[in-house]
Amino acid sequence: MGKKRIIKKSETGSSESGTAASKKKVKRHVARGFVYINSTYNNTIITLTDETGAVLASGSAGSFGFSGAKKGTPYAASKVAAQLAERAQAIGMQEISVYVRGIGAGRESAIRSIAGGGLAISMIKDITPVPFNGPKPPKMRRV
């Protein structure tokens, strides 16, 4: 297993060890932010960012504990959105803008859960990519 490390206490009361001292994570207070909801047929991924685009928290139906076909359900999306709404309120966020991408079943329920979590929604925008020309259709069948 190796040698055990002995920690010696100095006069100031801090402990010295062989590793670098870890910094305490600073809690940020953010009033406004963005929520990106990526809803596919198989999963729903929700990301919470500040106004500059730095990710503050994220979650998905898979990371919440749902597996298989249950990940794409509206219930799973609402649970993930409610958890992210709690995290946003812990940061101090009050107003958000919601951007929705995808055509999955969890779109509407995720937005409703965020609104029910006590966050004021200032804007909802659909940013689903839509092909304006699309792929070439298949050739006609010859029988």
72-76: long-range contacts, CB 8 A cutoff, minimum separation 24: 72/40, 72/41, 72/42, 72/43, 72/44, 72/104, 72/105, 72/106, 73/105, 73/106, 74/105, 74/106, 74/108, 74/109, 75/109, 76/44, 76/106
Band (41; pLDDT cuts 50, 70, 90): very high
Of the candidate ranges 16-25, 70-79, 119-128, the one whose mean pLDDT is the lowest: 16-25
Residue 143 binned pLDDT confidence (cut-offs 50, 70, 90) = confident
Ordered structural domains, the chain, with CATH: 32-126 (3.30.420.80)
pTM of the full predicted structure?
0.76
Helix (H, G, I), strand (E, B) or coil at 34: strand
As a whole number, the mean pLDDT across the chain is 89
**Average pLDDT score over residue span 16-33:** 71
Rounded CA separation 80/100 (Å): 15
Whether residue 83 is predicted with pLDDT greater than 60 in this model: the reply is: yes
pLDDT in tens, 87-131: 999 999 999 999 999 999 999 999 999 999 999 999 999 999 988
